[in-house]
Amino acid sequence: MAYFLFIVLALIAGSRLDAQERPVPKDSARISIPGCAKGRTFIVAARSDAEPVRSDAQPGSRFRLSADKKILEQIKKQEGSMVEVTGLVRKSQLAGPGGIPIAGGRIRIGGGAPRDPIYTDPARDPRYNEAVMDVESWRPLPERCPAK
């Protein structure tokens, strides 16, 4: 009987550990951002005043979503409606472009960190400036996505 009780307590303790958020690596940050998803691309929207700010992502920034198939399918069903996604992003991808801005930031001297492959033309590659977010959870928001 004592052995059975020990097994039950061990299973309960193990399930509680599973429910906790996974730890954030030192080179990453956990952020929550509102926006619109189209396929696996997520575009950050301006945060409303009623929502607490939990990230430094600028409106208009693009993220490529990475998650389980089930989560990505649920987010895809919400196309046209705003959602808030929470996940891990590398801090280096949140830093934004490097270099020195000239002419109001339209021209940058110095540039950011190099990216692979080198032979790709950044002006023609739409995913060049997309950071990758490992999505942990999401929730629907009452607003609709703005029409283009």
Domain-embedded: residue 6: no
Rounded Cα distance, 79 and 4, in Å: 49
Q: Judging by beta carbons within 10 Å of its beta carbon (0-12, 13-18, 19+), is residue 138 exposed, middle or buried?
A: buried
pLDDT tens, residue by residue, 59-118: 888 899 999 999 999 999 999 899 999 999 988 777 665 555 566 655 656 555 555 555
Percent over 90 (pLDDT), the chain: 24
- The answer as to whether 18 is a domain residue is no
In the prediction, which pLDDT does 121 show?
53
Residue range of the domain that includes 39: 24-144
Rounded to the nearest 10°, the torsion over CA 105, 33, 69, 41 is: -30
pLDDT of res. 69: 92
111: left (phi over 0), alpha (psi -120 to 50) or beta: left
102-132 pLDDT, tens digit per residue, is 666 556 565 555 555 555 555 555 555 678 9
CATH number reported for the structural domain that contains residue 134 in this entry:
2.40.50
As for how many domains the chain has, the answer is 1
